[in-house]
Amino acid sequence: MQASSFIVFQAYGNESILQECLFALLSISKQHIAAELADVEIYIYTDQEKWFRDKCKGSSLPLKFRTINGDDLKKWRGEIDFVHRVKIEVLRDMAKTVSGAILYLDTDVWFLNPVMHMLQEIQAGKLYMHIQESVIKDDGNPVFAKLHKFLVKNNPLQVNGKPLNVSTESVMWNAGVLGFHTKYAHLLDQVLQFTDDVYTQFHKHVVEQFAFSFYFQNTSFIHSAAREIFHYWHFKEMRNYLSSFFQFFEKDSWSDLVKHTELIQWHAPMQDKCSFYQNRNGWNKMRRKRWIPVIPDWKRLLQQMS
């Protein structure tokens, strides 16, 4: 049977990124039985296909790989040399290859619930992003405040040689999750053009994310994927946990690894991190002392959780 839904990751370069993706794949296995994924294919754009094949032995996930290399990445970063531009090109490439529902995910995600209903909704034409972050005019954080000021000063923007009015009432969504049907593939071209033109004037990492937010919300209502998917973009220390986790359990089977994912209790280290920064004294603030996570004793934790 030909697949009609496609889950897409880009995972290349540093092993910490690959491990994030691997952990996300484990969470897919945790939330879905094989039969539920019969109509789904999971594509990983990577320069480390062998690494994934070795790590995913014993998995029943419908994995497919699109091998990319340094030349691809250089081309996809474009003349503006923007790392987040690669995401747009990955999706343009994917939309030329398949027809159906596409669910793109950054690697730093964890599936909280099954996504079959979401994929059905995407098949029906609904658009998804992860979660609404802020209305631009509300100056939700320093970067958004700068974007607000930029839009006020430069509206209408020049995109593809034409004036484009961008309202400061526009909403910024987190683009760590993107769900759309390939019938909306033309939006990717618009997102790419906006990114290329605006990034040269507003040199901030949110330009690609705002481009997706702007064109999606001006096409249809955006639905949140937060109920199904947790995006821990603000918790890079998770990489410390994952490195230790995969090293300790490196000889375990796929099914055992799926069970062991329960050992990572997200709320505890995140609460510790918040508490640390809230309670730093003046000296440590001046020194910019950073929170360092305490890595669990996996053997003891396994005994406690069994």
For residue range 237-296, list pLDDT tens digits in order.
Answer: 999 999 999 999 999 999 999 999 999 987 788 888 888 878 878 776 777 888 888 899
Task: Indicate whether 15 belongs to any domain.
Answer: yes
Question: CA of 291: how far to CAs of 266, 270, 278, in Å?
Answer: 16, 11, 11
Task: Indicate whether 114 belongs to any domain.
Answer: yes
Q: What is the 3-state secondary structure (H, E, C) of the chain?
A: CCCCEEEEEECCCCHHHHHHHHHHHHHHHHHCCHHHHCCEEEEEEECCHHHHHHHCCCCCCCEEEEECCHHHHHHHHCCCCCCCHHHHHHHHHHHHHCCCEEEEECCCEEECCCCHHHHHHHHCCCEEECCEEEEHHHCCCHHHHHHHHHHHHHCCEEECCEEECCCCCCEEECCCEEEEEHHHHHHHHHHHHHHHHHHCCCCCCCHHHHHHHHHHHCCCCEEECCCCEEECCCCCCHHHHHHHHHHHCCCCCHHHHHHHHHHCCCHHHHHHHHHHHHCCCHHHHHCCCCCCCCCCCHHHHHHHHC
Residue 55 has pLDDT above 90, yes or no: yes
pTM above 0.75, yes or no: yes
Residue 126 has pLDDT above 90, yes or no: yes
Task: Indicate whether 298 belongs to any domain.
Answer: yes
Residue 200 has pLDDT above 70, yes or no: yes
What is the rounded CA–CA span in Å between residue 177 and residue 172?
Answer: 13
- Looking at the structure, do residues 269 and 136 belong to the same domain, yes or no? no
pLDDT at 98: 97
Task: Indicate whether 243 belongs to any domain.
Answer: no
- Looking at the structure, do residues 141 and 77 belong to the same domain, yes or no? yes
pLDDT at 60: 96
Residue 169 has pLDDT above 80, yes or no: yes
* Domain interval for residue 110: 5-231
Q: Decide which of 200, 231, 262 is a domain's last residue.
A: 231
pLDDT at 33: 95
Task: Indicate whether 198 belongs to any domain.
Answer: yes
- Looking at the structure, do residues 61 and 139 belong to the same domain, yes or no? yes
- Looking at the structure, do residues 70 and 99 belong to the same domain, yes or no? yes
- Looking at the structure, do residues 289 and 199 belong to the same domain, yes or no? no
Per-residue pLDDT, averaged over 9-34, amounts to: 98
- Looking at the structure, do residues 164 and 81 belong to the same domain, yes or no? yes
pLDDT at 122: 99
Per-residue pLDDT, averaged over 10-15, amounts to: 98
The pLDDT-based confidence of 197 (bands split at 50, 70, 90) is: very high
- Looking at the structure, do residues 84 and 221 belong to the same domain, yes or no? yes
**What's the token pair of residue 257?**
């690894």
- Looking at the structure, do residues 221 and 264 belong to the same domain, yes or no? no
Taking the CB of residue 230, how many other CB atoms lie within 10 A of it?
Answer: 20
Task: Indicate whether 240 belongs to any domain.
Answer: no
pLDDT at 293: 85
Q: Decide which of 175, 200, 231 is a domain's last residue.
A: 231
pLDDT at 31: 98
- Looking at the structure, do residues 85 and 216 belong to the same domain, yes or no? yes
Residues 72-102 have pLDDT tens digits of 999 999 999 999 999 999 999 999 999 999 9
Number of domains in the chain: 2
- Looking at the structure, do residues 226 and 256 belong to the same domain, yes or no? no
- Looking at the structure, do residues 90 and 177 belong to the same domain, yes or no? yes
- Looking at the structure, do residues 14 and 63 belong to the same domain, yes or no? yes
Task: Indicate whether 244 belongs to any domain.
Answer: no
pLDDT at 1: 63
What CATH number is given to the structural domain containing 45?
Answer: 3.90.550.10
Task: Indicate whether 245 belongs to any domain.
Answer: no
